[in-house]
A = this chain, B = another copy of it.
Amino acid sequence: MVRKRLPSGGDARPTVHTVAARAGVSIASASRVLNGVGGSPETIRKVREAAAEVGYVPNAIARSLQSQRTGLIALAVEDIGNPVYVAMMRAIEAVVAESGRQLLVHATGGKVDNETALLRRLANRYVDGMIVSPIRVTDAHLDALVDSPVPVVVVGQLPEDAPVDNVRTDSRTGVALAVDHLVESGRRQIGFVNGPLDTVPGAARDAGFRAALASHGIEIDDRLIEVGDFQYAAGRAATQRLLARAQPDALLCANDLIAVGALHALYGANQTVPQDVALVGMDDTELAQMAFPQISSVSLGSVTRGRRAAELLLERIADPSLPPRREQVAPSLVVRASSVAESPTPHGLPTVEVTA
């Protein structure tokens, strides 16, 4: 037997049909009134009344199927506990809200499976566009990106030929800024606490660090290089391992979470900062300012990158025929108390910004 529409049956959610029937008009008229286009005063009154009585609320899914849009933008990042992504998210949110859309965030945990699954699910029309900042990029990943039915903008490094809108920074130069600063301050035993080497930022920062040391004629001592996760606890543990076998007079950390971990490891090893060991982080997040002493940090322009990514996405949504675009944001170094021995206090001091 063929199912027929129930005659406004039971406690099912009211639809336009329910409202129309109750108001004694056609669903077309009901829909028009509900959308505020047209309708005689009398019709408007009847429909409004009926809608209120049955507690009508439109089904956004059905509306989207028809309109081919949802008014939703998604952002996928590895770890929402990392303040750099929070800053990026805020920048994106501002742009997205401006366009009348809403931003949804998903934390992927850096797992490629998770991220491609998200792409396959969300990008299939649940959202009007996506911004994704992957720390690991695989071929499957790239396929998911280019096959995406909705526009996608990538924040971060991507293969040259990937036909995807992309906003990147130059972390090699960023690392060089930090190393230059430390060398100029007279440091020579510069240690490096990095994130996983199988991640895009991890690999780039490792290469940048080695190149920067080489440019100063400093030999690379692998005992001064340690790897962990991009997190506080891992950064602290990694620094402890490093300190157990070497005596750095400076420490560069691949992000601010690691830097705070390093700071605590240094305290635990009776080292003063910046006197014994100068400390520099990366990403220039709020965390660098919240530490004591405040931590010098390489800004990779995450706010700018987020904003530009959002703008690129909105442009592409408006005009999908645009060619793939690639933008780069220059890094800069924000010097704070953790790397300047002469600095009397972490507070009330103007910070110095150094650009490449």
Contact = CB atoms under 8 A, between A and B. Distances in A.
Interface of A: 13, 55, 57-62, 64-65, 70-72, 74, 80-81, 83, 86, 89-90, 93, 102-107, 117-118, 120-122, 124-126, 147, 149, 232, 260, 263-264, 267-268, 270, 286-287, 290-292, 344-349, 352, 354-356
A124 B232 contact: no
A110 to B, nearest CB: 13
A86 B85 CA distance: 12
Please state the number of chain copies in the assembly: 2
A244 to B, nearest CB: 15
A349 B102 contact: no
B104 A268 contact: no
A59 B64 CA distance: 11
A67 B157 CA distance: 38
Most chain B CB atoms below 10 A, which of A126, A149, A267, A355: A126
Sorted nearest first, the 10 A-B pairs with minimum C-beta distance are A60-B124, A268-B347, A104-B104, A61-B125, A81-B86, A105-B105, A61-B65, A61-B64, A267-B347, A59-B125
Contact of A106 (B58, B102, B263, B292): B102
Nearest to A71: B121
A122 B125 CA distance: 14
Contacts of A356: 344-345
A267 B349 contact: yes
B263 A104 contact: no
Contacts of A83: 81
A282 B29 CA distance: 54
Contact of A93 (B86, B107, B267): B107
Nearest to A348: B268
B124 A59 contact: yes
